[in-house]
Chain A
Amino acid sequence: MSNILTHSPALVMALPLLAAFLTPVVGRFNRKVLGWFVSIVLGLTLFITLLMATQILTNGPMIYVFGGSEAGLTLPSGYSVPIRIIFHIDGMGIFMGLITAVVSFLAAIYSLSFMQKHSGLEKYYALLLLLATGMFGMEFTGDIFNFFVFLEIASIASVALIAFRSNLSGEPAEAGFKYMVVSSISALMVLFAVGLFYGQYDVLNMATIASVMQFTQLDKIALILLLTVLAMKAGSVPMHMWTPDAYSEAPAAITMVLVAASQASLYALFRISFSLYNISLNTITVGWIIIILGILSMFIGVTMAIIQKDIKRLMAYHAISQTGYMLLGVGVGLAVLANPVALESFGIKAMEGGIFHIMNHAMYKGLLFLTAGALFYRTGTRDLNKMGGLANNMFYTTVFFIIGAAAIAGIPPFNGFASKLIIYESVYQFNPLLSIIAMLVSILTLASFVKVFHSAFLGPQLEQYKKVQEVPKSMVFAMAALACIIVLFGLFPDVIVKNLVHPAVMSLINQTNYTATILGGI
């Protein structure tokens, strides 16, 4: 068991990768067992991630050196800088890793019955496992070129999954094309920034770059490149236009995983601004840029969402809007990073709100997309004008939709309210206007979900939907798991904030801990 624990960083990334290559072989022999094989692999990954989380939250960050004679040997004899690829998992990394593990496991369970009528399922599951590998790699790595490689793995897998249903109509292919262009631009700009770092400092390890960083002009250019393209991959306005296209045309379980993938890019943005640069950059300017991006995303996201007719496009615009909340919270934390008094009083709380919102958003947005998938599975349409009166037939879907909509609108006692309350109160102390805009956006969020609930579920039963039944059990199980998590996080938010979110925030703020884990206190 301790052997598994020492090697768990590599196991969590390698297990889906190996299974992705075994999936076509398994599919060749027996098609029915394919979904169960993938679910078991991803369940095993979830279990190892939970083990790793208990280890990290009690004993401190974990490192894993690929190719070293033992797992923790970052500086072999005679070397003064780490030369191998190192996975460096601290509080923030395992926070995102838990989200990825839960979301990909539930996506595999949901796909057991959602994708049953499709052909080519071994390709779908192989791509889902590769997407999970890419996301785990992005969140665990401590090496900046390795981050680029995993970013590209995740992008290519998600493009192929978005375009998966293009045998009937051309829109998924168009959405996949747009997403491919956008993610190619962002990945190549990340590669350019990696080149800039390597050219100046001769190292690729993020902790080593952080320890020798002098903020030259080239570092400024690298910061701007990384900031813009990672904000674009996370879906912030004004580079957000790929988000509704990609999220609406992908199969419903994949949209849930894509939300987690966008949040992995958001994690990379925070990692670079906090752990790589920290106070050497001009925190007030960069913080305010992130805050302005957040405010624009919140407001434009929700106002575009109210007028949509397609249910998944509406939810995708809400994903943009909620990303604005995360950018706002962490941007306030970044803006006061150099000011210890303000950081103590509200900066840490603002960052806790933003980062807690990341996990809450993955849960309730995933639940909402799964209910939209359930509606599409039974009615065959995503158009809100054609749906109506489905609460008479689909009881469980209605209940889960109510839980998800109440959570996203910030209604107590669900988890959305807890994280939004922390964001409102701490951002108010920074600048009251930002907090008022955030509350307005919350009201408009509630308005648009009342619209969806009225159009899809309320009203008299329509003729064409008289025979519609509840969705199959595996889909209900996946939705029920997310609904349980939402209710539990809402009733006991302090357990999550104290044990998961606060270590994540402190590991972002303390750059010296980040470098000392790798370089051993030099």
Chain B
Amino acid sequence: MIGNFPYIAVAILIGLGIYTLIFKKNLIKIAIGITLIENGANLFLITLGYRKESVAPIYTQAPEGMNMVLPTPQALTLTSIVIGVATTALILSIAMIIYNKYGTLNTDEVRRLKE
């Protein structure tokens, strides 16, 4: 019933994230773009573990005779979400410092280090 829909959602999310990184000029929008790519990658990891007509992989409360979805991608996704929290916090605080020193959040003006 689900079919390939989650994979199409992953492609759309990552595509939108890369579009934001290339074309949007505000530093906060770039941080949101990174979050979009990260959400796409996490969704991809969880979707990989899905098996048809299976239940959540809780070992002690498994109903008899039913399969479980794979638990390893769920562990990978949890790790990745925590890393994403640290990344987002760091990138937003650096954006705050840039706003404090430069007075602007536009990438065309935050460019003192050019070659």
Residues in A lying within 8 Å of B, measured CB to CB = 145, 148-149, 152, 156, 159-160, 163, 166, 169-171, 173-178, 180-181, 184-185, 187-188, 191-192, 194-195, 198-199, 204, 241, 244-245, 248-249, 304
Residues in B lying within 8 Å of A, measured CB to CB = 14, 21, 27, 30, 34, 37-38, 41, 44-45, 48, 72-73, 76, 79-80, 83, 86-87, 90-91, 94-95, 97-98, 100-102, 110, 112-113, 115
Contact between B98 and A174 (Cβ–Cβ < 8 Å)? Answer: yes
Shortest beta-carbon contacts, A-B, top 9: A170-B101, A173-B97, A199-B48, A245-B113, A191-B41, A152-B83, A184-B34, A177-B94, A180-B91
Contact A156:B90 (CB < 8 A) given known A163-B97, A170-B101, A171-B112 = yes
List of B residues within 8 angstroms of A171 by Cβ: 112-113
Contact between B30 and A181 (Cβ–Cβ < 8 Å)? Answer: yes
Contact between A180 and B97 (Cβ–Cβ < 8 Å)? Answer: no
A-B contacts besides A145-B76, A185-B21, A249-B113, 17 pairs, CB < 8 Å: A148-B80, A152-B87, A159-B90, A169-B101, A170-B98, A171-B112, A173-B101, A174-B98, A174-B113, A175-B113, A177-B27, A177-B94, A180-B87, A184-B87, A188-B34, A191-B80, A245-B113
Contact between B45 and A191 (Cβ–Cβ < 8 Å)? Answer: yes
Query: What are 24 contact pairs spanning A and B, CB under 8 A?
Result: A152-B86, A152-B87, A156-B90, A170-B100, A173-B101, A174-B113, A175-B113, A177-B110, A180-B90, A180-B91, A181-B34, A184-B38, A184-B87, A184-B91, A187-B83, A188-B34, A188-B37, A191-B41, A191-B45, A192-B14, A198-B73, A204-B72, A241-B115, A248-B113
- Which A residue sits closest to B112, measured CB to CB? A171
Contact between A195 and B102 (Cβ–Cβ < 8 Å)? Answer: no
List of B residues within 8 angstroms of A304 by Cβ: 115
Give complex CA distance A195, B7 in Å: 12
Contact between B113 and A185 (Cβ–Cβ < 8 Å)? Answer: no
Give complex CA distance A170, B110 in Å: 9
Chain B CB within 10 Å — which of A170, A171, A187, A188 has the most?
A188
List of A residues within 8 angstroms of B45 by Cβ: 191, 195, 198
Give complex CA distance A192, B80 in Å: 11
Main secondary structure of the interface of B (DSSP, over half): helix
- Which A residue sits closest to B33, measured CB to CB? A181
Contact A173:B91 (CB < 8 A) given known A145-B76, A199-B48, A244-B115 = no
Give complex CA distance A188, B112 in Å: 28
Separation in Å of the A151 CB from the closest CB of chain B? 10
List of A residues within 8 angstroms of B80 by Cβ: 148, 191
Give complex CA distance A195, B83 in Å: 16
List of B residues within 8 angstroms of A244 by Cβ: 113, 115
Contact between B101 and A185 (Cβ–Cβ < 8 Å)? Answer: no
Separation in Å of the A161 CB from the closest CB of chain B? 11
Separation in Å of the B75 CB from the closest CB of chain A? 9
Separation in Å of the B113 CB from the closest CB of chain A? 4
Give complex CA distance A518, B83 in Å: 29
Separation in Å of the B39 CB from the closest CB of chain A? 10
Give complex CA distance A286, B94 in Å: 37
Contact between B83 and A149 (Cβ–Cβ < 8 Å)? Answer: yes
Separation in Å of the A437 CB from the closest CB of chain B? 22
Give complex CA distance A420, B41 in Å: 41
Candidates B34, B41, B100, B110; contact of A195 at CB < 8 Å:
B41
List of A residues within 8 angstroms of B86 by Cβ: 152, 156
Contact between A195 and B48 (Cβ–Cβ < 8 Å)? Answer: yes
Contact between A159 and B94 (Cβ–Cβ < 8 Å)? Answer: yes
- Which B residue sits closest to A168, measured CB to CB? B101
List of B residues within 8 angstroms of A149 by Cβ: 79, 83
Chain B CB within 10 Å — which of A176, A241, A304 has the most?
A176
List of B residues within 8 angstroms of A180 by Cβ: 87, 90-91, 94
Give complex CA distance A482, B91 in Å: 34
Chain A CB within 10 Å — which of B14, B27, B41 has the most?
B41
List of B residues within 8 angstroms of A178 by Cβ: 113
Separation in Å of the B77 CB from the closest CB of chain A? 10
Give complex CA distance A194, B41 in Å: 10
Give complex CA distance A199, B59 in Å: 22
Chain B CB within 10 Å — which of A152, A169, A204, A248 has the most?
A152
Chain B CB within 10 Å — which of A166, A173, A192 has the most?
A173
Give complex CA distance A185, B87 in Å: 11
Chain B CB within 10 Å — which of A170, A175, A185 has the most?
A170
Contact A170:B112 (CB < 8 A) given known A195-B41, A195-B45 = yes
Separation in Å of the A201 CB from the closest CB of chain B? 11
Give complex CA distance A304, B115 in Å: 8
List of B residues within 8 angstroms of A248 by Cβ: 113
- Which A residue sits closest to B42, measured CB to CB? A191
Separation in Å of the B48 CB from the closest CB of chain A? 4
Contact between B37 and A185 (Cβ–Cβ < 8 Å)? Answer: yes
Contact between B102 and A170 (Cβ–Cβ < 8 Å)? Answer: yes
Contact between A192 and B44 (Cβ–Cβ < 8 Å)? Answer: yes
Separation in Å of the A263 CB from the closest CB of chain B? 22
Contact between A170 and B97 (Cβ–Cβ < 8 Å)? Answer: yes
List of A residues within 8 angstroms of B38 by Cβ: 184, 188
